[in-house]
């Protein structure tokens, strides 16, 4: 599977400021995703980021609040803008990774997650 890293691993920010989270993959991938995981909750998809096109946002998430960049096939950033305490959460990137099952001729895609960025907004 792909090796995925995120920076920063954690941060404490003041309300009204912005934080940019970086996601780096050790191999080229087509699909990258950004999720939010609020404390004790499940994972919620923020947006899908494809290289060379605008990110596709899920209902409840907007580009002005969560601008995303995808400059190449191994890197993406998510910015959390004008932060409030409600933005305190873990932000995770994931990638869709194609692999060929043993003995098979076709490839299957699976999704792997980065280690996450733990954000606290005061």
Partner 1 sequence: GENVEQHPSTLSVQEGDSAVIKCTYSDSASNYFPWYKQELGKRPQLIIDIRSNVGEKKDQRIAVTLNKTAKHFSLHITETQPEDSAVYFCAASRGEKLTFGTGTRLTIIP
For binding to partner 1 (CB under 8 A), which residues are involved? 31, 33, 41-45, 48, 59, 92, 96, 108-116
Supply the minimum distance, in Å, between the C-beta of residue 63 and partner 1: 18
Q: Residue 81 or 90: which CB sits closer to partner 1?
A: 90
Supply the minimum distance, in Å, between the C-beta of residue 30 and partner 1: 9
Q: Residue 84 or 99: which CB sits closer to partner 1?
A: 99
Residues 6 or more apart whose Cβ sits within 8 Å of residue 120? 10, 11, 12, 13, 88
Indicate the pairing of strand 108-113 with strand 89-99.
Answer: antiparallel
Q: Residue 10 or 15: which CB sits closer to partner 1?
A: 10
Supply the minimum distance, in Å, between the C-beta of residue 62 and partner 1: 17
């Amino acid at each position: 599977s792909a090796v995925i890293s995120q920076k920063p691993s954690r941060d404490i920010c003041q309300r009204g400021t912005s934080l940019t989270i970086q996601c780096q993959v050790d191999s080229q991938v087509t699909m990258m995703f950004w999720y939010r995981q609020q404390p004790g909750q499940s994972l919620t998809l923020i947006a899908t980021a494809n290289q060379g096109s605008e990110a596709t946002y899920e209902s409840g998430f907007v580009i002005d609040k969560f601008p995303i960049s995808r400059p190449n096939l191994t890197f993406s950033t998510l910015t959390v803008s004008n932060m409030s305490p409600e933005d305190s959460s873990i932000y995770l990137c994931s990638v869709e990774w194609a692999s060929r099952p043993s003995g098979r001729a076709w490839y299957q895609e699976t999704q792997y997650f980065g280690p996450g960025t733990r954000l606290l907004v005061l």
